[in-house]
A and B are shown apart, each in its own frame.
Chain A
Amino acid sequence: MMKKLDILIIVIMLVGAFWTFALNEDNRRPVEQLTPCELVDQTQKADKFVSTDELARKIMSNDPSVILIDLRPQKEFSEYSLPGAINIPIENLLDKKYVDMLNQKTYTNIFFSNSSDLAAKAWMITTRLGYQNNFILQGGLNYWVETILLPKKPDQTAVNADFIRYNFRKAASAYFMGGSVDVGSSSNSSAPKAPIKRRKKEAAGGGCD
């Protein structure tokens, strides 16, 4: 006859084995909340980008719902960044302390780095995790400097809209650089105050269903 201890051990192991067998591994919560198909749908939507002009307006109007997230390393962040930005180096993006900031429905997070590369990666990762309200600064800091801080005067033959935008950028440049500048003809001076139109979110219209 088998020893009682042997029988007990076998019974315990069998209980455990049936337990593991009964669990369906597919039911395990995956890391990514979005399926690849849903991600493609999200990627195709244009409203993941925030233009530099739009961002300048938000900052100048002290929009309290905007959180600027600088994804570059600490060193570059300390040298220069956007006003009010916080630094989350991309390697630390998924640290637990940032989860509440990234996964929320109240604020608008805008990712940026020198170009759009890191921001696009951060957007991809957070979107795949099912986080909402994360956006990419189009063109990154380089484009920010090019368009907002050092705007180029349009040609004389350019359409009026270009001049309006230029004047706004001159004003924004003065705002951010701290200098005084002639904003230009008074007829255009109301342009910077234009309310920000939020694009309506469309339902994902993919062909994956």
Chain B
Amino acid sequence: MHIFSENFGYKLLKTIDMGPFFPLGTIGEELNLIIGFFIGIGFGFSLEASGFTNTRKLAGVFYGYDFVVLKVFFTAAITAAIGLFLLNYYGIMDINAIFYPKTFWIPTLIGGFIMAFGFIIGGFCPGTSVCAAFTGKIDGMVFVGGALIGIVGYSLTYEQLWASLRMSGAMGKVNIAKWMGISDGLFILILTIVAAIAFYAVTLIQQRVTSKKDYQL
């Protein structure tokens, strides 16, 4: 007999922690979707405002003349990591109630390569391609169309071709810090130092590339 509902553990934490709102049942699914909708608009607006719908800006990371993308992603990841850590530590939000997917390292690695090639060739990541398409860029629309064809093709052939690959290299629900056996705080510190070094290094690379005579956008 199941005495406790499935989210009983979350309710237990509810006496201590305040968030996250949706997994703990503080807000319903409808409100969750509405909030997500507005955050999505803000995200798209930011991508457009910072020029990420321009393929040259994104491809610049790989050619060495513009590293804004790298800086933005590093900053976003570290800001989120520090924010989550502190919210969890001070009992405002329970980090265990946050969803993150299980890790399958083999398909993740392959998918990462495919994504990188798509990034270099097309000049978009999935998010920016949608923004570009809706700001009227034809290459963005083509990119979105290609992504949709890929999604449908993958879904239709999943059982026959991809199921075993998808499930290979299972590592369970891990985060890097636990996997390396260090504390979350130490990992964030290391990541931040790596980011600082990367920021400095890419500045040097960018200066060298853009100072060449034959450089052109």
Contact = CB atoms under 8 A, between A and B. Distances in A.
Interface of A: 1-3, 6, 9-10, 13-14, 16-23, 25, 28-29, 31, 90-91, 94-96, 99, 117-118, 121, 125, 129
B117 interface: no
Contacts of A129: 15
Contacts of B185: 20-23, 25
B78 A17 contact: yes
Given A31-B15, A91-B5, 14 more contacts: A6-B71, A9-B71, A9-B199, A13-B82, A13-B195, A16-B192, A17-B193, A20-B189, A23-B85, A91-B4, A91-B11, A96-B14, A96-B15, A125-B12
Contacts of B186: 21
Interface residues of B, number: 35
A31 B4 contact: no
20 contacts: A2-B199, A9-B75, A13-B195, A13-B196, A14-B193, A16-B79, A16-B82, A17-B192, A17-B193, A20-B82, A20-B86, A23-B85, A28-B89, A31-B15, A91-B4, A94-B11, A94-B12, A117-B3, A118-B3, A125-B12
A90 B78 contact: no
Interface string B76-96: 001101100110110100000
A17 B82 contact: yes
The residue in B183, B185, B200, B203 that gathers the most chain A C-beta atoms within 10 A of its C-beta is B185
Interface string B169-204: 000000000000001111011011101100110010
A10 B8 CA distance: 41
Nearest to A117: B3
A142 to B, nearest CB: 16
Contacts of A2: 199-200, 203
A17 B188 contact: yes
A2 B91 CA distance: 37
B128 to A, nearest CB: 21
B194 to A, nearest CB: 11
